[in-house]
């Protein structure tokens, strides 16, 4: 009965998410109703509590928190609906207008409630600990404690207000100028004009001449506003030095570490461990040169694809592989993932006007998460499906933690996605039909780790050199910045990759250096932590499963150290990062073996 079989199998085009439950099937009117309710309740909340937080007793605090959680859910529901509707059709002006409206109204609500965190941070420690004993705070205690970690670095209320108001025409304006300058960069590739991202993607081409030409064209395109972008970077580094001095941060990275709930020592230990394993990227790039049939890689060869012909997977195959891989690990995980398919929480096919890439939206704990993909039937897409469903299962299991502790700290946010992806990666590796297909998969795996661990730490080294130099030497010239960039890249690559003079200005389009200084190491931190979680499973097998489910269910209700401890990992152990790096070394070893098989050695 092929007819009934065909009825059962959904085609890719039908895999669209259903956003109606977010707004009680009321569409835009539902969004406006949610926001109106949030505005009304936030005004009432401010009326009742502003300036009076110190007078609350424990039960009253619990009541206030419940109120805040409900207001956040209202805004979160409206925001999620508008954001997801926009993501699937960015070309419809009605969707853009809705998103803008939601953002403006949400800002009004947030601004009205800012006093709560400020007044909470001002209370003294003893009082806070007494208040936190109250019943009804189970989904907020960690959140309430972490808000207070900025306490030693806060200025007076008048100064804070001045800082945030002046930032609009200061730091924020400089950041926007930088973004506008980089967005306007147009690369002329043999007469064809294209955006910077489009040109950079061509570095993956297997045609070496094209790659060299792309590198030259990108370098040329980076020149015209380079002086201005370097000035913006200099200004923002000086601005940060002033902020750090006023806020009493001991180093340029301390504020970022505090935001990540990571100690300066643990971040230092991570960076040093990765630097002492730079032989891993160097070994890979030497092997890659042989796979590409060239003597030695030049900077423009690093991204080149070593892929042979790709295998293709239709939607139902992908779904089956992912669910089977998850089920082999745990029924809880497979059941949670199956809900995404059964209840229309996934939007899968590429469509005109749809946002590129893939993501998981946690939405709000009162609703359920959503996953967006641009599924094109490549093997890479199956891994992406597993990655996003890993996030999705995490979000679904952590729903009971409530809206303040739903999300994990940034450093753990990729744990479940990398884990889900690794489960499926293992299965695809077992199924790979030819040595070439196996090598492609392993090569992508190693390069993923190199990009997330080593490249980000080298970028962190550049930031460290630049911020330190800006503080001791004053304004840095384009030449000086280029030298620091080269120094940080050369340290990672050694003699495995030739760095040309052209490459010296390639720091100048990276938005993280400008908008979120110090951010990049979090990728390395998160990836090594996530690999280590999988490493525990590889060692312990079955016994690990309940601990993993407990870890995901804990959401963001504990510190990174405490969450990692659930999985049996000790982040305070000085050898922790080195062991994580051994897992990457294992990936490299597997890729080297697969390469030997195809190079006929």
Q: Where do contacts with Zn ion occur on this chain (CB under 5 A)?
A: 417
**Tokens standing for 485?**
């960039």
Give whichever of 215 and 417 is closer to Zn ion, judged by the CB atom: 417
- Closest approach, Cβ 106 to Zn ion, in A, equals 24
- Closest approach, Cβ 113 to Zn ion, in A, equals 29
Cα separations (Å) of 78 from 29, 104, 249, 354?
A: 10, 12, 37, 20
What does the longest C-alpha to C-alpha distance in the chain come to? 78
- Closest approach, Cβ 417 to Zn ion, in A, equals 4
Give whichever of 361 and 437 is closer to Zn ion, judged by the CB atom: 361
Phi-psi domain of 134 (left: phi exceeds 0; alpha: psi -120 through 50; beta: other): beta
Q: Given the structure tokens 């998850």, which residue do they identify? A: 326
Give whichever of 283 and 391 is closer to Zn ion, judged by the CB atom: 391
- Closest approach, Cβ 391 to Zn ion, in A, equals 6
- Closest approach, Cβ 331 to Zn ion, in A, equals 24
- Closest approach, Cβ 521 to Zn ion, in A, equals 17
For residue 564, with 0-12 CB atoms within 10 Å meaning exposed, 13-18 middle and 19 or more buried, which class applies? Answer: buried
Q: Which helix (H) or strand (E) holds 35?
A: helix 27-49
Give whichever of 384 and 489 is closer to Zn ion, judged by the CB atom: 384
Answer for the pair 476, 261: CB distance below 8 angstroms, yes or no.
no
Give whichever of 219 and 417 is closer to Zn ion, judged by the CB atom: 417
- Closest approach, Cβ 422 to Zn ion, in A, equals 13
CB contact set of 550 (below 8 Å; sequence gap of 6+): 566
- Closest approach, Cβ 311 to Zn ion, in A, equals 23
CB contact set of 453 (below 8 Å; sequence gap of 6+): 274, 523, 524, 527, 528, 581, 584
- Closest approach, Cβ 356 to Zn ion, in A, equals 15
Q: Which residue minimizes CB distance to Zn ion?
A: 417
Give whichever of 415 and 489 is closer to Zn ion, judged by the CB atom: 415
* Count of helices and strands (H, E) across the chain: 26, 7
- Closest approach, Cβ 358 to Zn ion, in A, equals 8
Alpha-helical runs (H) found in 224-342: 226-246, 254-259, 264-275, 279-292, 315-329, 331-342
Answer for the pair 16, 347: CB distance below 8 angstroms, yes or no.
yes
Answer for the pair 56, 123: CB distance below 8 angstroms, yes or no.
no
**Tokens standing for 306?**
């070593």
What sign has the CA pseudo-torsion 511, 514, 517, 518?
positive
Give whichever of 297 and 371 is closer to Zn ion, judged by the CB atom: 371
Give whichever of 72 and 417 is closer to Zn ion, judged by the CB atom: 417
Give whichever of 83 and 481 is closer to Zn ion, judged by the CB atom: 83
The DSSP 8-state label assigned to residue 599 in this structure reads T
* Per-position DSSP letters for 349-370, written without gaps between them: S--TTPPSS-EEE---TTS--E
- Closest approach, Cβ 363 to Zn ion, in A, equals 16
Phi-psi domain of 24 (left: phi exceeds 0; alpha: psi -120 through 50; beta: other): left
Cα separations (Å) of 450 from 14, 197, 285, 426, 571?
A: 37, 20, 10, 19, 21
- Cα(136)–Cα(59) distance, rounded to whole angstroms? 8
- Cα(236)–Cα(172) distance, rounded to whole angstroms? 10
Cα separations (Å) of 436 from 45, 285, 306, 333, 516?
A: 62, 18, 10, 32, 40
Phi-psi domain of 218 (left: phi exceeds 0; alpha: psi -120 through 50; beta: other): alpha
- Closest approach, Cβ 285 to Zn ion, in A, equals 25
- Closest approach, Cβ 324 to Zn ion, in A, equals 22
């Amino acid at each position: 009965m092929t007819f009934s079989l065909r009825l059962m199998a959904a085609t890719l085009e039908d895999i669209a998410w259903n956003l109606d439950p977010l707004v009680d099937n009321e569409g835009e009117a539902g969004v406006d109703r949610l926001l109106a309710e949030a505005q009304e309740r936030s005004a009432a909340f401010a009326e009742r509590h502003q300036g009076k937080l110190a007078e609350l007793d424990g039960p009253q605090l619990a009541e206030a928190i419940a109120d805040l959680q409900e207001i956040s859910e209202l805004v979160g529901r409206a925001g999620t609906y508008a954001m997801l509707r926009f993501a699937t059709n960015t070309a419809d002006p009605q969707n853009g207008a809705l998103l803008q409206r939601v953002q403006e109204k949400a800002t009004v609500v947030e601004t009205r409630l800012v006093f709560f965190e400020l007044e909470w941070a001002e209370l003294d420690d003893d009082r806070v600990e007494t208040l936190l004993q109250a019943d009804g705070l189970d989904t907020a205690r960690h959140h309430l404690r972490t808000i207070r970690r900025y306490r030693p670095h806060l200025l007076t209320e008048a100064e804070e207000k001045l800082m945030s108001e002046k930032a609009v025409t200061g730091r924020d304006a400089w950041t926007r100028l930088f973004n506008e300058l980089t967005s306007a960069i147009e690369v002329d590739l043999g007469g064809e004009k294209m955006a910077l991202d489009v040109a950079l993607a061509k570095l993956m081409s297997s045609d070496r001449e094209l790659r060299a030409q792309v590198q030259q064209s990108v370098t040329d395109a980076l020149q015209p506003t380079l002086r201005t972008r370097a000035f913006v970077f200099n200004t923002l580094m000086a601005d940060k030095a002033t902020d750090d001095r006023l806020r009493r941060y001991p180093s340029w990275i301390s504020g970022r570490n505090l935001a990540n709930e990571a100690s300066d020592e643990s971040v230092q230990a991570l960076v040093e461990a990765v630097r002492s394993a730079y032989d891993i990227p160097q070994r890979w790039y030497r092997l890659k040169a042989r796979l590409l049939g060239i003597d030695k890689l030049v900077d423009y060869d690093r991204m080149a694809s070593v892929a042979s012909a790709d295998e293709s997977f239709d939607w139902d195959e992908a779904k089956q592989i992912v669910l089977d891989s998850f089920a082999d690990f745990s029924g809880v995980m497979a059941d949670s993932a199956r809900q995404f398919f059964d209840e229309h929480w996934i939007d899968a096919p590429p469509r005109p006007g749809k946002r590129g890439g893939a993501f998981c939206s946690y939405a709000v704990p009162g609703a359920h998460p959503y996953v967006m993909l641009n599924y094109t039937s490549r093997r890479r897409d199956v891994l992406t499906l597993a990655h996003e469903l890993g996030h999705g299962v995490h979000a679904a299991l952590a729903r009971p933690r409530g809206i303040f502790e739903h999300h994990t700290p940034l450093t753990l946010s990729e744990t479940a996605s990398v884990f889900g992806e690794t489960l499926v990666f293992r299965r695809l590796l077992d199924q790979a039909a030819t040595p070439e297909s196996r090598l492609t998969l392993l090569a992508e795996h190693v390069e993923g780790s190199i990009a997330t661990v080593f490249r980000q730490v080298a970028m962190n080294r550049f930031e460290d050199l630049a911020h330190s130099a800006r503080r001791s030497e004053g304004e840095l010239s384009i030449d000086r910045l280029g030298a620091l960039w080269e120094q940080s890249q050369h340290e990672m690559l050694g003699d495995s990759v030739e760095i040309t003079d052209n490459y010296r200005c390639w720091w100048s389009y990276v938005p993280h250096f400008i908008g979120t200084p110090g951010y990049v190491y979090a990728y390395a931190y998160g990836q090594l932590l996530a690999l280590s979680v999988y490493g525990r499973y590889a060692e312990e097998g079955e016994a690990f499963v309940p601990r993993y489910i407990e870890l995901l269910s804990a959401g963001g209700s504990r510190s990174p150290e405490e969450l990692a401890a659930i999985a049996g990992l000790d982040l305070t152990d000085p050898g922790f990062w080195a062991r994580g790096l051994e897992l990457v070394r294992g990936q490299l070893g597997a890729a080297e073996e697969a390469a030997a098989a195809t190079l006929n050695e």
